[in-house]
Structure 1
């Protein structure tokens, strides 16, 4: 349930969804809303549904019906036993897997309608990241046991993996955004260069060092009303920043805007390559977590499951299953292990060692990704300076790196001093004229 809507609407939302999707089709829906401590952090609902139809008098109808198989001529097929070949069909299709996607979509629609009605900007999309076209790796589900251990400060393999995945996703998002912004600026700068070509100044204008020096001149002109001390301090800061930028450009072999564009393309490809190397390692680490957790569940739940298997009567067996959640846990864990037969003979120690190696490799691959991000941040500052030195280009929507607060306060003090000095000089000139 979305936390962004008021709590008094939780039941209204769930009831409307159940009424439209289940009750209107003939099912009985029994739902319970849970809001575990602390309140508001994870509100959710559990819904139980009937799979058998009921008539208008409240009498249960058959769950299935016999259907006779027909041959190519439309005739019944007789078996050697003398009986007719047949099969069972459900009287209702409520248990069909097609409804998984339908109900997920309808749950998305009704949540977004309630969010919109409450003037909330958030929207829900129940498609996976891959289906939405996002290059984002999903995190691993953390069960109650893992969350409790993490809360107590005990780091778990699943928790560590999720932290690595989140960090890598944030890193790639930052890199993609920086590359997108820088490419947009280069395109804008290219349009300005066409005008400069007409003035036969293109070659000089595309040299990044020339543009950075021009930026220093503009900054110096902007400070002409400051005090001498303020002007000197500002010039010193600009000189230091531009010198570092020029040193960085020389180190990377970047002297023109064209060089910068090629470097951006290369950086983007490098980042994507590193991320693609990380993805299979993260996926394999997820599988290992699943195998280890499933083995633990099988071991803990096996005695109960064996008791369940020995029960002969169907109703007694079903009742035992409902009263013992270990049965479902064992079945789920066994099914997961069956999907990964290649790891059947691997010991727990071998799997843990493999996972530790994978996490180490993921951390190593994150280092060059971080370096790419740092490069792009430096280019973002250079872009801002070059934009300011290139008349006609739109100033960056992305703000430049913030100046330390002490420097900001000092600059404001210098500006005020300059204003007072100018006012006093004007006053003295007026007095001299009166005399």
Structure 2
């Protein structure tokens, strides 16, 4: 019922909404001015307060919706989420419930969205093969991809404490940086600040320590998806990353969009995983599953725009930096990511956050970072007002957007993930 393409809502703005029709119903945590944080669902131009309509929901759901985060709710697993979606679809489509529900709708412009979960752990993967190849060419022209890339979904542990909601300013980080013409490193503000276009994966039900998640069950452990911008200090990273990988270059800020789009809402937009090029190894058996091969790719359209301080003052339209799609970018599926993460017995927990890594396509218009677009700073981007950018300057604002459409299905979206760079006062 919840993805019935003919289903309409009595909430007029939901019908034909670019992001939040009744077929989507993403969950999030919101607050009003000076109000407490609580769960809500996006419907058209509104947020439906789940606490306020608790009496219309199953009794066993109410306790979890009293929490200011979604961890406990996500821990219930996919069947509980499906029951909630079915009930919400009924309440928002059947006019008999309008008098009870309508007073609990709050305009999205009147609320603030928060990080949906208390993030216990954050892991960033590197499954965008075109991004990995492009970056590898800049640092290792003779061997862009290391030998393990096509066997192992590469990832590293990030910093959960600096995961922040869309709209929060990004403070330019400081650290050690060493330019190509400098003999010794110096400490100061990052000179090559960048964004990274990613999808975020929220973990629902976890697994016990020592009990890996089989590939055929991995999807049941995913509560939903969001947009994720893993901001990157490229100059700090180039100096520090050997031998242990990213550290201060990546742990200063990670932005996430506020709405969690459920796997059920994305069901009409699943595709077969792209065929691996001739000569590539098949996934090892623990990462191979027939159903995942057939439906593991997500046809999510991705867009990144930039505005500068001067552009906003002059009323210049945002500059589109990239447009691409997740299914054309990901070498490994979400299920393979989750399975590999737990394959050594690592215990995932409800509310854990996983980033896909930067999602770039094989076309210039689909590159997911300025490092790639500007060819490491050698080919600056020229904006409509004459400004140029190789990397981000103070006052620059990056907006990520994502949506799914086509195949006769109603379009659904993720909303926005926005971050504006502000100076740190460091030289």
Structure 1 or 2: more helix by fraction: 1
Structure 1 or 2: more strand by fraction: 2
Larger radius of gyration: 1
Please report the TM-score for the alignment, with normalisation by the length of structure 2. 0.21
Please report the TM-score for the alignment, with normalisation by the length of structure 1. 0.21
For CA contacts below 8 A with separation 6 or more, give which structure has more relative contact order: 2
